[in-house]
A and B are shown apart, each in its own frame.
Chain A
Amino acid sequence: MKMELIQPFINSADAVLSQGLQGTTQVASLSMEEEGYHRKGVAGMVALSGDVEGRIVLDLDPQTALRVASHYAGADLPESDDLIKETIFELANQVVGNAVSALNDQGFHFRVHPPLLLTSNEGDKSSEDVEALMICFETSLGNVFMNVALRYNKRRMADHAATGK
């Protein structure tokens, strides 16, 4: 996966999490998910279509999700509260929105789809043209995992070939 695509998502997640959680965040690990995606807990998925297609998943283990949602709510939430899922959705939305804004200003055009709750425990494996990258962010409230799987669509790839970029 081209770093020109992935870096805006890392920068965006870092900014959104550090601002929202009011603490420092750092990338603890970054790895290819060659064996397919394994959900950690509460996972919000945002799909993209356009010049680049794919999806971004923000995934937190249940206890971290509860701590993060309680932090944003300003009160301790019960484990079953719908606001936990809503919080992860909105965080995923903000991460993707900010990254897409940066990429759009570089000439990539996207459509961002509303977040969905990821319920399956396993996801697609990487393929020849889709590589899934897992980034783990360490935050003061626990680890936040971001799984990014993107590919240029064929029209865009043809444009890149034609322009030599």
Chain B
Amino acid sequence: MEQFAAVKRSKDGQPVRYLIVDDSVFARKNLARMVESFGGQVAGEAGDGLTAISEFDRTHPDIVLMDITMPQMEGIEAAEKIVQAHPEARVVMVSSVGYQENIVAALQRGARHFVQKPVKPEVLYEVIKYVLGEDGAVANAAGAGI
């Protein structure tokens, strides 16, 4: 997989920590490989919305990558509950169902961005940098950190 300049947390230079939520093991592995190629760290995984909420409380990730169509509790509802409890949470929806109504609903209920599957690493990388804003910093090419 293509390697990207590492995106670190500005405050302490540590890897960005991700919670990956998807009912597909395949999709979770794929996203995990991508965020690791961005210099990130997988803080936790969940296969449904309910587990995502408890995993968020346990791991306090910097970014949540959240699927929409899942058993028990769908991603948009889980995102809303997470953001209600933690207004600072950064939730990025990652779904193959990317029609306008879905995107708008996700954004209105607290998601920060939307990425359509199949995920292109370069697209997700740019979204991560955008969502982190000043809380993220790209390491220089020599790998000297932030």
Measured CB to CB, the residues of A under 8 A from B are 16, 19-20, 72-74, 82-83, 86-87, 89-90, 93-98, 100-102, 104-105, 112, 114
Contact = CB atoms under 8 A, between A and B. Distances in A.
A98 B18 CA distance: 25
B27 interface: yes
B98 A98 contact: yes
Mostly, the A contact residues are: helix
B99 A105 contact: yes
B24 A93 contact: yes
Nearest to B33: A74
Interface residues of B, number: 24
A93 B96 contact: yes
B86 interface: no
Contact of B100 (A16, A73, A105, A112): A105
Mostly, the B contact residues are: loop
Contacts of B24: 86, 89-90, 93
A95 B117 CA distance: 9
Given A19-B118, A114-B71, A97 B26 contact: no
Contact of B97 (A83, A90, A112): A112
A72 B69 contact: no
A161 to B, nearest CB: 25
A154 B8 CA distance: 54
Contacts of A72: 26, 30
B25 interface: yes
A94 B30 contact: no
B69 A74 contact: no
A98 B97 CA distance: 6
B12 interface: no
A72 B27 CA distance: 10
Contacts of A102: 99
Contact of B118 (A16, A100, A114): A16
A101 B116 contact: yes
B11 interface: no
A92 B26 CA distance: 12
A97 B71 CA distance: 16
A97 B30 CA distance: 17
11 contacts: A72-B30, A83-B29, A87-B26, A89-B24, A93-B117, A94-B96, A98-B117, A104-B101, A112-B97, A114-B23, A114-B70
Nearest to A86: B26
